Amino acid sequence: MNTRRHFFKAAGIAGGAVAAAAISRVAMAALPEPVTQNSPATMPPLVPNTGRPYNPVVTLNGWTLPWRMNQGVKEFHLVAEPVVREMAPGFKAHLWGYNGQSPGPTIEVVEGDRVRIFVTNKLPEHTSIHWHGQRLPNGMDGVSGLTQPSIKPGKTFVYEFEARRPGTFMYHPHADEMTQMAMGMMGMWVTHPKARHPLIDDVQRDFCFLLSGYDIDPGSYTPKIMTMLDFNIWSWNSRVFPGIDSFNVRLNDKVRFRIGNLTMTNHPIHLHGHEFMVTGTDGGPTPKSARWLEVTTDIAVGQMRQLEFVADEEGDWAMHCHKSHHTMSAMGHNVPTMIGVDHSGLTRKITRLIPDYMVMGERGMADMAEMEMPLPDNTAPMMTGQGPFGSVEMGGMFSVLKVRKDQKPGDYKDPGWFKHPAGTVAYEWTGELAQPTRHMSGGKHMMNPQNMPAKDIEVQVRKPQGGSGHSGH
């Protein structure tokens, strides 16, 4: 515990943390004191009060690392260390990260800044940091064994280079990568343009986050690092819905999302109610002639996509990965599809032997969200997010863009649920239902079918009766 840590923490909560305090000459000759964050909440933007001005980003459920200016050089201190990350209320993971959190803090600098980063290794094994996407001297690229010796436990290394091009970058270890990235070691880096840039627009809200995947068994705390593809926790900045904060913006704000993917699969990120343009990648700003409107963009492994749009539709708009398994969590994969299977007789028999026996998935998986299913302690919430109309039935990579007329400029606080104007919400039809018209014609075939079965096979479709009856339980 140190007083500086508390100073930054307090400043952060007050709104707009302060970058660096006055420090004596003696202190300047020493390492910058590392700043640690204890909270997984989204911190307000860190408004620069030293160095050149810029429009700061907001890191989703994260924060920006304060720096100190030392004779014109921006100095940061990253500490690689084991951390406990609350991924959602009731679910904590034992990860590795930087300065108290996984992901590590966002580093924000200005194009042309001279940057010096001290990296202290408090992990049980060696590490290094690769500055993904940056132009820099080869020896600063952070590939252990290739461009530098690894940073042994207890040692501190110094990286120094000029932030040469504006854009969104990432940082992660390039030493025992499989383990260290599976454990959550990653962070974002934003280099703001030094002047007006023809391809970089001013925005009112600038959010950034990383896509990260973990394999954590229900009831356990530590990711399984040998997993190659079959991850079960899909997170944004090491948080899972309903633990992910909403994106709160003012009506007609220009909004930017900077999203980096350090999972082991691609994620089609989908925004409701608006169209966006991809205005940049980790290669830099995209030429205007190469931009087009989208509502979903795929972000491949090791890529960053920068999305921009004007938030001109009021409401609570879902934003999520479109792979439906990535909006669930802690899911066993070996569950057979039970939709349409009538368990009623079987269940009665089993219940005589096992009183708590429960059938899953007979009518789909929505039951899971409604049932108060007993889960092991420390399990990621699965499909449990509650909205104003009931369960949202989402977990993992899901959040909400909240667009409000009365959200004040620069105010990031959650405005609560949208109050829909009368007559603008989908409603139940209570009138007569006509019988469906059935088209009995077999249609015309382009080609004559061959090897037809000897007689017609009848497929039975089971349809639920009435509204609420669920006979199986």
Burial of 350 (0-12, 13-18, 19+ CB in 10 A): middle
CB of 83 to Cu ion, least distance (A): 24
CB of 322 to Cu ion, least distance (A): 7
Q: Between 280 and 396, whose beta carbon lies closer to Cu ion?
A: 396
Whole-angstrom distance, CA of residue 58 vs CA of residue 399: 15
Q: Which residues pair with 386 in a beta bridge?
A: 391
The H or E element spanning position 91 is strand 91-98
CB of 306 to Cu ion, least distance (A): 18
φ, ψ dihedrals at 444, nearest 5°:
-100, 135
Nearer to Cu ion, 231 or 309 (CB): 231
Q: Which is nearer to Cu ion, 92 or 323 (CB)?
A: 323
Using rule CB under 5 A, residue 305 touches Cu ion: no
Is the bond into 242 cis (omega within 30 degrees of 0)? yes
Distance between CA 399 and CA 410 in Å, rounded? 20
Residues 385 and 388: their CA atoms lie apart, in Å, by: 10
Residue 344 gets which letter from DSSP?
H
**60, 233, 259, 321: residue in contact with Cu ion (rule CB under 5 A):** 321
Task: Determine contact, residues 210/103, Cβ cutoff 8 Å.
Answer: yes
User: Which lies closer to Cu ion via its Cβ, residue 291 or residue 323?
Assistant: 323
Q: How far, rounded to the nearest angstrom, does the alpha carbon of residue 224 sit from its chain's CA centroid?
A: 20
Q: E strands within 146-303?
A: 156-162, 167-172, 187-192, 205-214, 233-236, 247-250, 253-261, 267-271, 276-281, 284-285, 293-294, 296-299
Residue in the structure block whose two tokens are 């508390």? 6
In this complex, which beta carbon is closest to Cu ion, that of residue 216 or of residue 321? Answer: 321
Stretch of residues binding Cu ion (CB under 5 A), selected from 45-53, 82-90, 220-228, 324-332: 324-332
User: Smallest distance, Å, CB 230 to Cu ion?
Assistant: 14
CA–CA dist 141, 178 (Å, integer):
18
User: Residue 419 in 3-state DSSP?
Assistant: coil
Contact with Cu ion (CB under 5 A): which of 5, 291, 323, 420? 323
For Cu ion, the closer of residues 32 and 184 by Cβ is 184
CA 456 distance to own-chain centroid: 50
Number of residues this chain uses to bind Cu ion (CB under 5 A)? 4
Structure tokens at 362: 């007979």
Phi, psi of 70 (to 5 degrees): -125, 100
Nearer to Cu ion, 94 or 323 (CB): 323
Least distance (Å) between residue 326 CB and Cu ion: 3
Q: For Cu ion, give the closer residue by CB, 95 or 233.
A: 233
- Return the range that interacts with Cu ion (CB under 5 A); candidates 105-113, 249-257, 315-323, 335-343: 315-323
The full length of the chain comes to 473
Point out which span in 5-13, 30-38, 139-147, 318-326 binds Cu ion (CB under 5 A): 318-326
Q: Smallest distance from the beta carbon of 300 to Cu ion, in angstroms?
A: 11
Rounded to a whole number of angstroms, the minimum distance from the CB of residue 213 to Cu ion is 8
Region 209-268 residues binding Cu ion, contact defined as CB under 5 A = 267
Residue listed under structure tokens 């000897």: 454
| Options 132, 174, 305, 326; binder of Cu ion; rule CB under 5 A | 326
In the bound state with Cu ion, the residue whose beta carbon lies nearer, of 129 and 269, is 269
Using the contact rule CB under 5 A, the part of the chain among 116-124, 212-220, 317-325, 374-382 near Cu ion is 317-325
By CB under 5 A, which span of 191-199, 218-226, 316-324, 407-415 interacts with Cu ion? 316-324
Nearer to Cu ion, 215 or 362 (CB): 215
Q: How far is CA 67 from CA 62, 274, 293, 328, in A?
A: 16, 36, 37, 38
Binding positions for Cu ion, 335-394, rule CB under 5 A: none
Partners of 95 in beta bridges? 83
**Smallest distance, Cu ion to C-beta of residue 334, A:** 20
Residues that bind Cu ion (CB under 5 A): 267, 321, 323, 326
